[in-house]
């Protein structure tokens, strides 16, 4: 089991120690623009909880947080106007390319989104 590092960059973002460009937030999630976008729209959604990756989250997060997380993903997608046009990625483990060990979903789309921020 991987150990959660409270000093990872997303933990710092959740604590307000590092700024972010927020797209959507509620009591369960924070969604913000990726600092190095690899698509026209590239947003990360993270849960407000200490989980290293999707496996840790699925196995150990309380169901209220799991439900709240996926609801937050949907609300983020709606806000971006991407309901029928987006890709999700959840890199898991260093071998996959995961660089930040706080569970996150990449939401990516190469189409222009329909709402202004
Ligand atoms: P992964 O490689 O799946 O762990 O994805 C981590 C993502 O976090 C990368 O796409 C980075 O560009 C992004 N990232 C790292 N630091 C920040 C930051 N301070 N604000 C926004 N995105 C970040």
Sequence-ordered strand ranges (E) for the chain: 22-25, 29-33, 41-47, 87-89, 105-109
Known active-site residue 104: yes
How confident is the model over 65-87, as pLDDT tens digits? 999 999 999 999 999 999 999 99
Global pTM reads: 0.94
How confident is the model over 19-64, as pLDDT tens digits? 999 999 999 999 999 999 999 999 999 999 999 999 999 999 999 9
Residue bearing tokens 């202004």: 116
| Residue list, ligand 1 pocket, CB within 6 Å | 9, 18, 20, 34-36, 44, 91, 97-100
Question: Of 23, 16, 38, 114, nearest to 75 (Cα)?
Answer: 23
How confident is the model over 89-109, as pLDDT tens digits? 999 999 999 999 999 999 999
């Amino acid at each position: 089991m991987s150990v959660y590092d409270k000093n990872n960059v997303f933990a710092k973002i959740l604590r307000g120690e590092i700024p972010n460009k927020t797209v959507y937030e509620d009591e369960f999630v924070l969604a913000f623009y990726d600092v190095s976008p690899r698509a026209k729209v590239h947003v990360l959604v993270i849960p407000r909880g200490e989980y290293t990756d999707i496996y840790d989250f699925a196995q150990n997060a309380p169901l209220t947080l799991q439900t709240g997380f996926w609801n937050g993903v949907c609300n983020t997608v709606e806000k971006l106007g991407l309901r029928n046009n987006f890709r999700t990625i959840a890199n898991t483990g260093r071998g996959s390319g995961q660089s930040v060990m706080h569970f996150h979903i990449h939401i990516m789309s190469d189409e222009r989104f329909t709402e202004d921020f």
